[in-house]
């Protein structure tokens, strides 16, 4: 089996406390990592690795686990730059904007959707993201939701069925009829392609009862739950996610004390997507400090989508989380790696312990602090080849 030693690492972020300085990041200075057959097989001191077929000297730079982006909507047609510009001129964001993208997505061929999504995946990977979750949700009819998931499944193993993004335009006067479709024929068509099911719980999208029915139907088809929760105002999304044991409650911009307590007590990650708060010009950002202090598991994700967060950059999200959400630079790096893995219930990514997937990202800087310290500077790139979805292996 082919092996490579990444040597001369100035600062290695392992996310395994005992492999490093005992902190959650498990920081180790002057380190080396040996990978073989796509896995980390040894972590130790610079120059001390067993013999390898190839040796790569990273010349004192910082190396971390590839980012885990646990929330994205990469399958879509059309463009909403004008809507963004209008928001920057003072217009408010409303969930209904999703329907603009729905029209364009339905008109796009599978090849067009795949080409666009593939370019966005490549854009993420170039910046050091190794694991990517991709949702449907811009089809809202059986054929287009299925087509979207077929596209997503060619690009990742973390595929999420989001038929319940908003009520489809044909059903605006019959939302319960749409819930029936999402939990019936559409679910049957989509479930074999997905690992997860997601619901946008919000005024203008779905209420708690509808979400409960949708996530319950998904569970009966073996899909794990995720929830778009408390994005635009306080609401029942977070509590529902925790009650149902969802892997993650995403956005979490408007939380009550009870929501924070529920997240701290549950096995549900709080995934913050401050890129969306930035791009919607939200008056508030999620309070990550409060969540971490309460004991919740916090993840950071891009929420890359054409409406509310058209960024593919986790370094940008890290910088925002530090500046606006109260995370320390170290907490933000943990949240974009180990936190993302927790939000996807993955043990093989988000850390660099022995047995982890060989997904290494290098920072062109001596320390992970530079990710927040040098916002907007393209410092990160992958050291290892991006993973291939299992279905294509």
Give residues in contact with ligand NIG (CB under 6 A): 97-98, 101, 200, 228, 231, 276, 303, 305-309
The tokens of 374 are what?
């040098």
141 near Fe ion (CB under 5 A):
no
Residues near 150 by beta carbon (within 8 Å), at least 6 away in sequence: 110, 193
Which CB atom, from 26 or from 236, has the smaller least distance to ligand NIG?
236
Which CB atom, from 31 or from 98, has the smaller least distance to ligand NIG?
98
Give which of 170, 222, 220 is closest to 196, Cα–Cα: 222
Classify strands 224-229 and 62-65 as parallel, antiparallel or unpaired: unpaired
Please state the closest distance from residue 187 (CB atom) to Fe ion, in A.
Answer: 19
The tokens of 337 are what?
């790696």
| DSSP states along 204-219 | TSB-HHHHHHHHHHHH
Neighbours of 162 (CB within 10 A): 29
Answer with the entry of ligand NIG, Fe ion, none that 200 interacts with (C-beta below 5 to 8 A by kind).
ligand NIG
Any bridge partners for residue 299, and if so which?
271
Which CB atom, from 24 or from 77, has the smaller least distance to ligand NIG?
77
Q: Which of the ranges 102-110, 295-303, 332-340, 354-362 carries the binding residues for Fe ion, by CB under 5 A?
A: 295-303
Answer with the entry of ligand NIG, Fe ion, none that 4 interacts with (C-beta below 5 to 8 A by kind).
none
Which CB atom, from 85 or from 354, has the smaller least distance to ligand NIG?
85
Please state the closest distance from residue 306 (CB atom) to ligand NIG, in A.
Answer: 6
Beta carbons of 255 and 286 less than 8 angstroms apart: yes
303 near Fe ion (CB under 5 A):
yes
Please state the closest distance from residue 271 (CB atom) to ligand NIG, in A.
Answer: 10
Please state the closest distance from residue 126 (CB atom) to ligand NIG, in A.
Answer: 23
What distance in Å separates the CA atoms of residue 314 and residue 69, rounded to the nearest whole number? 8
Q: What is the CA angle 114-115-119, rounded to 5?
A: 110
What distance in Å separates the CA atoms of residue 294 and residue 15, rounded to the nearest whole number? 21
Please state the closest distance from residue 284 (CB atom) to ligand NIG, in A.
Answer: 15
What distance in Å separates the CA atoms of residue 24 and residue 17, rounded to the nearest whole number? 5
Which CB atom, from 52 or from 197, has the smaller least distance to ligand NIG?
197
Answer with the entry of Fe ion, ligand NIG, none that 307 interacts with (C-beta below 5 to 8 A by kind).
ligand NIG
Please state the closest distance from residue 169 (CB atom) to Fe ion, in A.
Answer: 19
Q: Supply the DSSP symbol for 305.
A: B
Size of the site for Fe ion (CB under 5 A): 1
**Nearest residue (beta carbon) to ligand NIG:** 307
Which CB atom, from 19 or from 190, has the smaller least distance to ligand NIG?
190
Answer with the entry of Fe ion, ligand NIG, none that 308 interacts with (C-beta below 5 to 8 A by kind).
ligand NIG
Answer with the entry of Fe ion, ligand NIG, none that 101 interacts with (C-beta below 5 to 8 A by kind).
ligand NIG
Give which of 283, 207, 270 is closest to 242, Cα–Cα: 270
Helices (H), the chain: 81-88, 98-107, 110-126, 142-153, 175-183, 185-190, 208-220, 237-243, 257-265, 274-279, 288-294, 314-324, 329-334, 340-343, 370-373
Please state the closest distance from residue 122 (CB atom) to Fe ion, in A.
Answer: 21
Which CB atom, from 116 or from 228, has the smaller least distance to ligand NIG?
228
Which CB atom, from 26 or from 97, has the smaller least distance to ligand NIG?
97
Beta carbons of 25 and 371 less than 8 angstroms apart: no
Which CB atom, from 158 or from 303, has the smaller least distance to Fe ion?
303
Please state the closest distance from residue 194 (CB atom) to Fe ion, in A.
Answer: 15
Answer with the entry of Fe ion, ligand NIG, none that 125 interacts with (C-beta below 5 to 8 A by kind).
none
Q: Which residues bind Fe ion (CB under 5 A)?
A: 303
């Amino acid at each position: 089996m082919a092996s490579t030693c990444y040597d001369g690492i100035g600062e290695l972020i392992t996310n395994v406390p005992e492999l490093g300085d005992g902190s959650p990041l498990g920081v180790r200075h002057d380190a080396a990592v040996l990978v073989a057959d796509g896995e980390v097989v040894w972590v130790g001191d610079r120059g001390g690795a067993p013999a390898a077929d190839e040796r790569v000297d990273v010349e004192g730079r910082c190396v971390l686990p590839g980012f885990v982006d646990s929330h994205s909507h990469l399958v879509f047609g059309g463009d909403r730059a004008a809507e963004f510009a209008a928001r920057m001129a003072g217009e408010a964001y409303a969930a209904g904007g999703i329907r603009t993208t729905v029209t364009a997505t339905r008109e796009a061929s599978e090849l067009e959707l795949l080409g666009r999504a593939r370019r966005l995946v490549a854009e993420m990977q170039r910046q050091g993201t190794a694991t990517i979750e991709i949702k449907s949700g811009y089809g809202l009819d059986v054929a287009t939701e299925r087509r979207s998931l077929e596209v997503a499944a060619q690009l990742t193993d973390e595929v999420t069925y989001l038929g319940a993004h908003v009520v489809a335009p044909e059903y605006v006067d019959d939302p319960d009829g749409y819930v029936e479709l999402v939990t019936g024929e559409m679910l049957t068509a989509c479930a074999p392609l997905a690992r997860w099911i997601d619901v946008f719980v919000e005024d203008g999208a779905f209420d708690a009862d509808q979400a409960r029915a949708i996530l319950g139907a998904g569970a009966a088809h073996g899909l794990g739950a995720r929830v778009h929760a408390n994005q635009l105002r306080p609401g029942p999304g977070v509590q529902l996610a925790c009650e149902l044991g969802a892997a993650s409650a995403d956005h979490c911009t408007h939380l009550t004390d009870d929501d924070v307590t529920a997240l701290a007590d549950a096995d549900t990650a709080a995934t913050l997507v401050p890129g969306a708060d930035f791009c919607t010009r939200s008056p508030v950002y999620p309070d990550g400090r409060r969540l971490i202090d309460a004991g919740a598991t916090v993840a950071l994700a891009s929420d890359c989508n054409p409406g509310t967060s058209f960024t593919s950059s986790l370094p940008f999200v890290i910088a925002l989380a530090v500046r606006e959400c109260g995370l320390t630079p170290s907490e933000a790096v943990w949240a974009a790696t180990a936190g993302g893995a927790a939000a996807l219930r993955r043990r093989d990514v988000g850390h660099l312990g022995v047995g982890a997937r060989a997904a290494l990202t290098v920072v062109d800087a001596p320390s992970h602090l530079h990710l927040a310290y040098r916002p907007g500077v393209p410092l990160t790139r992958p050291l290892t080849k991006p993973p291939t979805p299992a279905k294509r292996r």
